[in-house]
Amino acid sequence: MREIGHWIDGKRVAGTSGRHADVFNPATGEVQARVALASKDEMDAAVAAAAKAQMAWGATNPQKRARVMMALVGLINRDMDKLAEMLSSEHGKTFPDAKGDIQRGLEVIEFCIGAPHLLKGEFTDSAGPGIDMYSMRQPLGVVAGITPFNFPAMIPLWKMGPALACGNAFILKPSERDPSVPIMLAELCQEAGLPDGILQVVNGDKEAVDAILDNETVQAVGFVGSTPIAQYIYSRATANGKRAQCFGGAKNHMIIMPDADMDQAADALVGAGFGAAGERCMAISVAVPVGEQAAEALRERLVPKIEKLKVGPWTAGNDVDFGPVVTKAAKENILRLVESGVEQGAELVVDGRDFRMQGYEDGFFVGAHLFDRVTPEMDIYTQEIFGPVLSMVRAASYEEAIGLAMDHEYGNGTAIYTRDGDAARDFASRINIGMVGVNVPIPVPLAYHTFGGWKKSGFGDLNQHGPDAFRFYTRTKTVTARWPSGIKEGGEFNFKAMD
């Protein structure tokens, strides 16, 4: 049995709490490893070691820190397949999707190479008689990230990259369901030149999370996961005087206007709704066709595409569309919600309840499902299913369609499919949702913009990656200075290198 511990002070270490969690192979249902669950004492020791190491790292000039990011980019590209294979084996997503998970995290590390520019302050000459004013961005110290199972490479990289580039030490508490890739990334950070102790990967459960939230040394916490946990972490972190950015659940709507290219919209819905078995916070789970004609045209195209989806383990080849969900409990919850949809009167057009993967009967596979004539009071509409289930909610007008998305408690992402620029512009302007796609099904911003939802999908004032991340992981200091005028020393003729 493979044993997974922690990454502390630049090396793998075994856990000492005596507590462990099973790491499954989602395709077979078998336990493939055990991961140590840290105690409060273990977490506190990791934080203390990080604080000690951070002082020198914070004093290192931004160019040197950026060079570590640059080296890390090369190393991740070198080990892309190795990382993706491990990710697929623990999470269950297909090999191409695992590589995409890593790639989207890598893009944030590429953005962090620009840290010297992003950390520049402001300067005002002669703000008063002989007085200059300037500001500087300085690291917070020790910060932490608590990341989810569904993107075990991307979201840790989104959190750690900007934090480290800003000069902080970073405590990563990844999901205990797929913990291997974060430790592999820590090893690559060390190879890239990151000093020992600056990145600590501490596996654990609620005890480890609470230890982060209550530790006075930790200055900021970033989280991605469900909304109830996001609210809990945000409330407890801020009550303890920490900065917090916490991102929760989603129920992402796609509005399909009557003038949309229905073939394009159907292709987009199938990819956005069923990719990664629907275990994405930016998955489209609600299709809202406007008008009965559009609804019938969309349904006619969706059904054969969904019925042809290939489900299987990541080892079955790159033509697999999606794999198993992450745990047996996740599978059971998805099927429970599907049953509730049937009981509450939705029309189950594509029924995946009886799906069985030959040779993998004990795996956590869930077939694709399509509901039609879903209404807003149904559980499958109000709750985040996080599985391969797409719901169609028919709207009589554009106003009704946009109202559905605006009235839902979640506000992570949304999209509109249309050829009408006026409708698209109105939609983008009015919608109370954080990330909007116009003929783009999964509108995840690129690394140099920021990622974040509204309403109950996001808690905190600043978003993930992009310029907001550098604001979140630094504090601004403003200096007002007056110096006697006049040159006191002779000139200097050597051009000094930035060491």
- Cα 158 to Cα 104, 110, 147: the distances in Å are 9, 11, 10
Is 281 one of the catalytic residues?
yes
Q: How many residues does the structure list for the chain?
A: 499
Q: Rounded CA gap, 439 and 153, in Å? A: 27
Contact between 453 and 445 (Cβ < 8 Å): no
Three-state SS string across the chain, please?
CEEECEEECCEEECCCCCCEEEEEECCCCEEEEEEECCCHHHHHHHHHHHHHHHHHHHHCCHHHHHHHHHHHHHHHHHCHHHHHHHHHHHHCCCHHHHHHHHHHHHHHHHHHCCHHHHCCCCEEEEEECCEEEEEEEEECCEEEEECCCCCCCHHHHHHHHHHHHCCCEEEEECCCCCCHHHHHHHHHHHHHCCCCCCEEECCCCHHHHHHHHHCCCEEEEEEECCHHHHHHHHHHHHHCCCEEEEECCCCEEEEECCCCCHHHHHHHHHHHHHHHHHCCCCCEEEEEEECHHHHHHHHHHHHHHHHCCCECCHHHCCCCCECCCCCHHHHHHHHHHHHHHHHCCCEEEECCCCCCCCCCCCCCCCCCEEEECCCCCCHHHHCCCCCCEEEECCECCHHHHHHHHHHCCEECEEEEECCCHHHHHHHHHHCCCCEEEECCCCCCCCCCCCECCEECCEECCCCECHHHHHHHCEEEEEEEEECCCCCCCCCCCCCCCCC
Active site residues: 281
